Amino acid sequence: MCDPREIPSVMASEVRVRRLFALALLVACGRLWLALSAIPTALPVSEAHEQDSRHTKIAEDDWLHTFEDVMSGTSGRFDDPGRQFYDRVMAEVARQHYDAAAAGFRLFLELHPRSPLAPHADYWLGECEYRLGQYQDAIQAFDHALSRVPLDPQLAPAAFLRKGTSYAKLGDESRSRNLLELLVVQYPTTQEAVLARQTLLMP
């Protein structure tokens, strides 16, 4: 039988245990809350948009490298007196010397306006202007490339894509969307159409 004098001591001991248990539980809950708050939830709209833009930019750069390789290989097929000159200018594009390349393509188009390579020179002049931030000049060069008859099936979707993104850079979202939608409809299976869809779906 328990000695009545020991009861207050036992009760005090139980209270201490309960308090320690409650404190331990509180600490555990606090740690869990801190761990959960460290997990990223939905990104803010501006940050999500920035991530989408970065993803599209990477995809666009990959596309451009592939397209550049295809077009560089294509240039060798033309039996053209200006081909060596054109290839030297394309080497400036590969080195990202866009000012020099743009000047080279302008000269090529003056010297060889009827060359089979002229549509390619138009396109790459536009690409250089785009890279230099001269978006209005880029649009004019892409227009020249698109006005060539017959329309090159490899150049056309690329020119539509870059013309559309040039309008977007100038703040003309309506024209940009119209061109990108046209690209998706007319060239649905191309890599350019994939990039256009990604851009159109961005908020």
Contact by Cβ (8 Å): 196, 180: yes
If asked whether residues 99 and 195 sit together in one domain, one would say yes
pLDDT in tens, the chain (203 residues): 555 555 555 455 555 545 544 444 444 444 444 443 433 333 343 443 444 445 445 556 665 655 565 455 455 455 678 999 999 999 999 999 999 999 999 999 999 999 999 999 999 999 999 999 999 999 999 999 999 988 888 899 999 999 999 999 999 999 999 999 999 999 999 999 999 999 999 87
If asked whether residues 80 and 21 sit together in one domain, one would say no
Domain that includes residue 23, residue range: 4-38
pLDDT at 80: 77
At 171, which CATH number?
1.25.40.10
Helices 191-201/155-169 angle, 10° precision: 20
Contact by Cβ (8 Å): 113, 82: no
If asked whether residues 50 and 140 sit together in one domain, one would say yes
CA dist 131 and 153 (Å) reads 23
Domain count, the chain: 2
Helices 118-131/98-111 angle, 10° precision: 150
If asked whether residues 34 and 49 sit together in one domain, one would say no
If asked whether residues 160 and 97 sit together in one domain, one would say yes
CA dist 54 and 130 (Å) reads 18
If asked whether residues 69 and 14 sit together in one domain, one would say no
pLDDT at 115: 92
